[in-house]
Amino acid sequence: MKFIKWLLVIFGLLLLIWFGFWAVGIVYSLLWYVFLLAVVGAIGFGGYKLLAKKEETRKLPENTPIAIAEMRTDRVLEEYKKKYPGE
């Protein structure tokens, strides 16, 4: 009986090692496919950036800000007083 028990233990250990190698192989192959997909994606992205038309970026004209003191407030105030004389 001891002999059969030892054979089963050895057989179980061999199966455990075999499934361990199987799991490591699955993980390794998945990482390899992810790496290949990243390489292909990087090549495709680089080709797209290289060959795509570059659109002109429109920029707003640079205007210097106007200070409140530089504004013509007198004219606006006179127009307001003409429009609403009672206030």
Give the C-alpha separation, 76 to 70, whole Å: 13
Q: What pLDDT score does 70 carry?
A: 61
Structure confidence at residue 68 (pLDDT): 61
Position 56 scores a pLDDT of 67
d(C-alpha 64, C-alpha 24), whole Å: 65
C-alpha to C-alpha distance for 37 and 20, rounded to whole angstroms: 26
Which DSSP string do the residues of the chain spell out, in sequence order? -HHHHHHHHHHHHHHHHHHHHHHHHHHHHHHHHHHHHHHHHHHHHHHHHHHSPPPPPP-----PPPPGGGS-HHHHHHHHHHHSTT-
Confidence check: pLDDT of 33 > 90: yes
Q: List pLDDT tens digits, range 17-32.
A: 999 999 999 999 999 9
Residues 35-82: pLDDT tens digits? 999 999 999 999 888 888 776 677 776 666 666 666 666 777 788 888
pLDDT above 70 (res 87) = no
